[in-house]
Structure 1
């Protein structure tokens, strides 16, 4: 069968598909969100602009992600995800080429807002999560946990590579090398090993789905029953997930953008601050994997409450301002909340809507969740400007974290326990 990933012994084909999507998202996120900082200094020096002006490029990408995610999510539901990701890889190479050759800041902004944003949506976490949800049912939580690690791995891998390119060849050549190296790798890898949905043989030959009858009734791999935009946004669960996960993710984003200056302001040295952040990052990776694994066995709403509790306690610890070693221990434990929310969000959405419309639902949530993140990031900056500290912002985030739990527990969907009892 043309386009079918080869079976390697008795390995479920979904793991091969997941691996290709993992590499795609890892390269895209590592080359954009994590590596943006590397281009700030050379670009500001060449064009004679301020750091704030340079940061507008990052903001334009975030706005682009909010605008293009619904469209890309829809395409992922209507067509084979393989072709959407392959198109995104070519858009990525084109975007980096346009920015590398541009002599105008406006041209750069357009390239980032349109082509680069589309490529991040098409090749990054949105596509990877949509494909993963369709290929996994019984082990969906751990599969989504693995997918959520792509950002951390991508940052660790691509930052030193791109930094070497910039140092050796200049920022423009570095963009060309990065853009087309990443584009070619993704295009070939995804073209060979990715299919958007499992074939009947994958379902029948492996114990990943309940039964063929259950799959066709509840979680049909075919993409002909996707919900319309009106059906999605008028569904109660859509707003509960978007607001519940959005509030917690927005608090995470705001804390992440301010944790280094907060630690320095609290009297820690630069080395101590970076060590604390590193410990928190490692804890976040562990949280993604552990919470993702637990999502296969427990009600995801309870896991969300656990993640929210850890985030709440992390804010409490920041407000208490303990000594260095105590804070290092606390963030190593509670930092799991920063990572655990990602597989929980995808699992909640899949439980509420099923695989057929997962791309559309995740995509249409982006404007709501990105909007909340922008508000929270702005809020923490304003609070610091007015009070000279982050305490008021942290206290406000504690309230929104509690609110997020109420949103999630107001959801209504078929849990693993209820499904098992119904079968019995």
Structure 2
């Protein structure tokens, strides 16, 4: 068995674990939001501000940290992220007010999300893979869904067994043990292990050409129309999915269904998203991004249309959640897959950081916006229809997306 097989795919497995840890943050917030809401009594909109603080802080940090990831040790950054994540959930257990909850999300959990999240995985795997990049990224990004599938059951089990503060302390310990040992196994670059990307016998022409290119400035990245096309397309789907999943438990309660069944819906969503990532891994290098983007936008639109009919019962909600996760889930790896292809591997950290920052700005208002629409209308139907139609409009621009670095 080649040393690359052991080391290269180990990096993919490490990224899978890291992304599982950060993937649970938004996916499980609706579960921990229930005892937090009972403790501090915020309005539905204020309750969702934790996700706005998370997204806003990540939007600021992603370009800065992404730029550093092109130059400094990813291993050290990921270890730091694992420590911050564990401390963050332990810190939530000490909150004396909802303001403290917001501070913990901004100071500890948000930086951990950037240090362990898709930017770091994209930078690491774009160094280790070229020909098989789509497969590696798809497998790694599946960790987001795996975390969303597994951790709701862990969290609900902890909440059912312990008081919520004790449960979050134990969750912080679980997350630290999940991430830190794995992060210590990161190899920053295949050259450190004496191997080439994809296990090639010598440096691939694509890699040599990339390394000879001049550094691209942030302004050059931001002035590229492809940048905004990617950011806008990804933002529509991911922000809509985040708004849906963070408001899922309240949506279930509003439909007259026991809140304990919301955990099963979160796991259903995550399970379908997990299958989407694995399908992406199998098909991305064969079909290309345009087909998968079209499927993602169409499936996401149909899924949210189903959720407008939540009054019809649990089955319709489950169908909408499943469609959103299964087809909309194709969009989650897309940013990581396109960044090195469209902007070049030598500046992938900078490009991914900027892309992630812009997308996260779109995510800033989505969870509280869902809550606000509910507070104003007593229903989530209007916001679901809005995002469903936005996805169909965005679909019209997919054929014109450029899929190679811009020629100077």
Q: TM-score higher than 0.5 here? A: yes
Partner of 1:236: 225
Partner of 2:125: 132
Greater mean deviation of Cα atoms: 349-358 or 389-398: 389-398
Closer/same/farther in 2, CA of residues 362 and 406 from structure 1, 3 Å limit? farther
Paired residues for 1:320-335 under 5 Å: 335=325
Q: Distance in 1 between matches of 2:74 and 2:169?
A: 26
In structure 1, stretches of 5+ residues that fail to align are: 1-6, 416-424
8 Å Cα contact 1:312/1:398 also seen in 2? yes
Partner of 1:75: 68
133, 136, 151: which one aligns with 1:143: 136
Closer/same/farther in 2, CA of residues 401 and 351 from structure 1, 3 Å limit? same
Q: Distance in 2 between matches of 1:360 and 1:194?
A: 20
The structure with the larger Rg is 1
Partner of 1:299: 288
Higher relative contact order at CA 8 Å, sep ≥6: structure 1 or structure 2?
2
Closer/same/farther in 2, CA of residues 281 and 213 from structure 1, 3 Å limit? closer
Q: Deviations over 1:282-330 (max 9, x none)?
A: 3332222112321111221222112212223334555688898788678
Q: Distance in 2 between matches of 1:392 and 1:241?
A: 26
Partner of 1:251: 240
Q: Distance in 2 between matches of 1:206 and 1:240?
A: 33
Q: Distance in 1 between matches of 2:319 and 2:99?
A: 46
Q: So what's the TM-score if we normalise by structure 1?
A: 0.78
How far does residue 37 in structure 1 lie from its aligned partner after superposition?
4.3
Q: Distance in 2 between matches of 1:174 and 1:359?
A: 36
Q: Distance in 1 between matches of 2:49 and 2:236?
A: 24
Q: Distance in 1 between matches of 2:141 and 2:106?
A: 24
279, 283, 299: which one aligns with 1:290: 279
Are 2:110 and 1:117 aligned? yes
Closer/same/farther in 2, CA of residues 169 and 226 from structure 1, 3 Å limit? farther
Q: Deviations over 1:57-111 (max 9, x none)?
A: 3432232222222222122112121111112223334434544455565555333
8 Å Cα contact 2:241/2:324 also seen in 1? no
Closer/same/farther in 2, CA of residues 22 and 405 from structure 1, 3 Å limit? same
Q: Distance in 2 between matches of 1:269 and 1:181?
A: 28
Q: So what's the TM-score if we normalise by structure 2?
A: 0.81
Are 2:12 and 1:18 aligned? yes
Q: Distance in 2 between matches of 1:37 and 1:398?
A: 22
Q: Distance in 1 between matches of 2:337 and 2:328?
A: 16
How far does residue 16 in structure 1 lie from its aligned partner after superposition?
0.5
Aligned length: 402
8 Å Cα contact 1:88/1:123 also seen in 2? yes
8 Å Cα contact 1:75/1:84 also seen in 2? no
Q: Deviations over 1:238-296 (max 9, x none)?
A: 11111122122223333444566667777989899887776554333222211232111
Q: Distance in 2 between matches of 1:269 and 1:312?
A: 27
Partner of 1:370: 360
In structure 2, stretches of 5+ residues that fail to align are: none
Are 2:194 and 1:194 aligned? no
Closer/same/farther in 2, CA of residues 299 and 12 from structure 1, 3 Å limit? same
Instruction: Note the aligned Cα RMSD (angstroms).
Output: 3.9
